[in-house]
Amino acid sequence: MQQGAKDPKSPIKVINIVGGGTAGWMAAATLARHFRGHDLSIRLVESEQIGTIGVGEATVPSILNLNRYLGIRERDFIAATGATFKLGIEFSDWYTAGESFFHPFADFGAPLGGIPFYPCWLKQYKLGNAAPLSEYSLATALAKGGRFAQPDPDTQNPLALYNYAYHFDASRYAALLRRIAESHGVRRIEGKIVEVRLDSSNGDIRSLHLQSGEILHGDLYIDCSGFRGLLIEQALATGYEDWRHWLPVDTAVAVQSERAGPAPPYTRATATAAGWRWRIPLQHRNGNGHVFSSAHMTTEQASTELLKNLEGSALGEQRVIRFAAGMRKKFWNRNCVALGLASGFIEPLESTSISLIQTGVEKILKFLPDLIPEQKNIDEANRLNRQEYERVRDFIILHYKLNGRDDTQFWRDMRDMAVPDTLQQKMDAFTEDGRLLSFEQESFQEASWLAIYDGFQFRPRNYLAEVDKLDNKQVIRAMENMRHAIATAATHAPPHHTFLRQAFLQPQEACAETE
Ligand SMILES: Cc1cc2nc3c(=O)[nH]c(=O)nc-3n(C[C@H](O)[C@H](O)[C@H](O)COP(=O)(O)OP(=O)(O)OC[C@H]3O[C@@H](n4cnc5c(N)ncnc54)[C@H](O)[C@@H]3O)c2cc1C
């Protein structure tokens, strides 16, 4: 057998990870933790000369599971990464200019008489007896007031159940993960890979050749090299499925800025003439960016719009990043798995990339039992990965499809476009009677779909007939009680910055009682 070629039945002994951005270090820390005690060596190659993408600072709640798995205490995480809490996303000017709505990581209301809240609300809303849906969400009320408190895990009150995520400094998070990975034995190699050689007998990746002359052989290669896809595309020519006909936003200008005022506990996404701007509040600064369609707006226009709307002075230079929405045709091809930007990218509107890295790593763990790769497992991992990407894609497209703006060609085109069949099916079911279809591998659950439908005032023609079994007066009273309880609970929570300071940023001893 050639050097570097592996007997297909023997367990993997060497994993080479290419790239030390968020994807590379997430993979390194998780794989090293999962396979500790195995006869396995994990190496990570990264190049300071190339650097990382330097954005990617808003997350979804699944990040808490990763931190827990890696043994990262919330207090340490928040101090190390300059993190703030995130209750959801405020969408400004998306439906029409001047209007905004909130997508919380939480359900709306609580079931009434065994019937889910939404159909009950819908009937009363149509009758003019209900407040806007957002007023039945504690997470939304907290966000609006700039307040934060952690949900009480023992509460019996369904209104107090919500999730949260974080905003964090991506480079500091990568550094934290690196410390964990290295403590589990991962070896970091600084250097630029200048050549990737394939095994002529089977087409697998055989070796990585560094500028320094060092050659790395391995059994499994994880491509975390960013958009370039050094292994998965440049070496293995896996192919890319391009979704720009649905998601034409293809360029970002990004800049950091000084914080002005206390950090709100949410991300803001503000629609512009041909895209949208993000504002991500960290403890020590804001992350800002403007993502736009280059067919409808120049980089100069996008940059002017971004700078004009910064809340504090810009810190450092603006960066321009180009991308194409889509996914690699296979995320696992031969002896190579692509994670992060190397595996695909759907624009950052719902902060999904980091969670897709997480589920990508989980698929490696699940479909590589005993470290022995089998083609049927690889095929299944690819099938699930595709579905997961497509579900996220559909959810993002929905935000554009439902827009009510008439001010530019971009928004009119987005409203008129034909959407994927899977999305059309969901929209049709919802329009009929409020049914929320859920397919395999959904990243966003029913409450999230509801938040977007309702935010865009896209409402069903009918409500579920079952709701008519409930007594109208009782329903109205119960809903009013919920709204009152939520408003009261929200005003009792501390301002977000006070919560952060008191619970997480004070010296250890002072915090002991808050744990
Ligand atoms: C505009 C924008 C906004 C985003 N916002 C969010 C967000 O809010 N939330 C979210 O979840 N995600 C977001 N993302 C996605 C997020 O940034 C990425 O998923 C995340 O940073 C992971 O990137 P990565 O590690 O795959 O790639 P990168 O950070 O690009 O890292 C690539 C690594 O590969 C190394 N490398 C490349 N070539 C070589 C070579 N030849 N030799 C050696 N090393 C090499 C580099 O040195 C680097 O270490 C955003 C992305 C963009 C473009």
Known active-site residue 330: no
Q: What is the pLDDT of residue 213?
A: 98
Of all protein residues, the one whose alpha carbon is nearest to atom 14 of ligand 1 is 56
First to last CA, the chain: 56
Instruction: Please write the tens of the pLDDT for every residue from 334-385.
Output: 999 999 999 999 999 999 999 999 999 999 999 999 999 999 999 999 999 9
Q: What is the pLDDT of residue 512?
A: 33
Relative to beta strand 193-198, strand 205-210 is antiparallel
Q: Is 300 exposed, middle or buried (0-12, 13-18, 19+ CB in 10 A)?
A: exposed
Q: What is the pLDDT of residue 160?
A: 83
443 close to 352: Cβ distance less than 8 angstroms: yes
User: C-alpha 70: how far from its chain's center?
Assistant: 19
**Ligand 1 mean position, distance from CA 56 (Å):** 8
Q: What is the pLDDT of residue 385?
A: 98
Residue 46: CB within 6 Å of ligand 1?
Answer: yes
For the chain, the average pLDDT equals 95
How far apart are the C-alpha atoms of 110 and 159, rounded to whole Å? 6
Q: What is the pLDDT of residue 8?
A: 62
Most ligand 1 atoms within 8 A of CB, residue of 249, 341, 351, 443 to mutate: 341
How far apart are the C-alpha atoms of 208 and 4, rounded to whole Å? 11
**Average pLDDT over every residue of 245-274:** 97
**Ligand 1 mean position, distance from CA 454 (Å):** 33
- In terms of pLDDT, which residue wins out, 125 or 511? 125
Q: Which of 6, 9, 13, 86 is catalytic?
A: 86
Residue 216: CB atoms within 10 A of its CB come to 18
Residue 91: CB atoms within 10 A of its CB come to 24
Relative to beta strand 193-198, strand 88-92 is unpaired
Residue 324: CB within 6 Å of ligand 1?
Answer: no
Candidates 42, 64, 57; CA nearest to 348 is: 57
Q: What is the pLDDT of residue 436?
A: 95
Instruction: Please write the tens of the pLDDT for every residue from 70-102.
Output: 999 999 999 999 999 999 999 999 999 999 999
Backbone φ and ψ for 59, nearest 5 degrees, come out as -130, 180
Candidates 89, 78, 67, 80; CA nearest to 264 is: 89
- Whether 513 shows a pLDDT value over 70: the answer reads no
ipTM computed for the complex: 0.99
Instruction: Please write the tens of the pLDDT for every residue from 424-468.
Output: 999 999 999 999 999 999 999 999 999 999 999 999 999 999 999
At which residue do the structure tokens 């409930």 appear? 470
Most ligand 1 atoms within 8 A of CB, residue of 49, 216, 225, 318 to mutate: 225
DSSP codes, 158-208: GGG----EEE--HHHHHHHHHHHHHHTTPEEEE--EEEEEEPTTT--EEEE
Candidates 177, 199, 172, 197; CA nearest to 188 is: 177
- Whether 390 shows a pLDDT value over 60: the answer reads yes
Distances from the Cα of 373 to the Cαs of 35, 37, 112, 145, 151, in angstroms?
A: 15, 19, 49, 51, 41
Of all protein residues, the one whose alpha carbon is nearest to atom 7 of ligand 1 is 56
- Whether 509 shows a pLDDT value over 80: the answer reads no
Q: What is the pLDDT of residue 3?
A: 47
Q: Which tokens is 421 given?
A: 């069949």
Q: What is the pTM assigned to this prediction?
A: 0.96
Q: What is the pLDDT of residue 7?
A: 60
* Percent of the chain whose pLDDT exceeds 90: 93
140 close to 487: Cβ distance less than 8 angstroms: no
**Ligand 1 mean position, distance from CA 220 (Å):** 21
How sure is the predictor about 125, in pLDDT bands with cuts at 50, 70 and 90?
A: very high
Per 3-state DSSP, the chain is made up of helix, strand and coil in percentages (nearest 5) of 40, 20, 40
How far apart are the C-alpha atoms of 368 and 364, rounded to whole Å? 6
- Whether 511 shows a pLDDT value over 70: the answer reads no
Most ligand 1 atoms within 8 A of CB, residue of 48, 49, 53, 169 to mutate: 53
How far apart are the C-alpha atoms of 83 and 58, rounded to whole Å? 10
Looking from the CA of 494 toward its CB, the CA atoms found within 13 Å total 12
**Average pLDDT over every residue of 243-260:** 97
- Whether 203 shows a pLDDT value over 70: the answer reads yes
What Rg, from alpha-carbon coordinates, does the chain have?
24
Q: What is the pLDDT of residue 159?
A: 80
- Whether 506 shows a pLDDT value over 90: the answer reads no
How sure is the predictor about 217, in pLDDT bands with cuts at 50, 70 and 90?
A: very high
Helix 472-492 to helix 117-126 angle, to the nearest 10 degrees?
A: 110
Q: What is the pLDDT of residue 237?
A: 98
Residue 55: CB within 6 Å of ligand 1?
Answer: yes
Q: Which tokens is 183 given?
A: 């403590």
Q: Is 433 exposed, middle or buried (0-12, 13-18, 19+ CB in 10 A)?
A: middle
Residue 156: CB atoms within 10 A of its CB come to 7
342 close to 23: Cβ distance less than 8 angstroms: yes
Instruction: Please write the tens of the pLDDT for every residue from 18-73.
Output: 999 999 999 999 999 999 999 999 999 999 999 999 998 999 999 999 999 999 99
- Whether 233 shows a pLDDT value over 50: the answer reads yes
Q: What is the pLDDT of residue 9?
A: 73
Relative to beta strand 326-328, strand 240-242 is antiparallel
Distances from the Cα of 376 to the Cαs of 203, 346, 351, 364, 379, in angstroms?
A: 18, 27, 31, 13, 5
Q: What is the pLDDT of residue 376?
A: 97
Q: Which tokens is 88 given?
A: 């959801």
Residues 6+ apart with CB under 8 A from 183: none
How sure is the predictor about 507, in pLDDT bands with cuts at 50, 70 and 90?
A: low
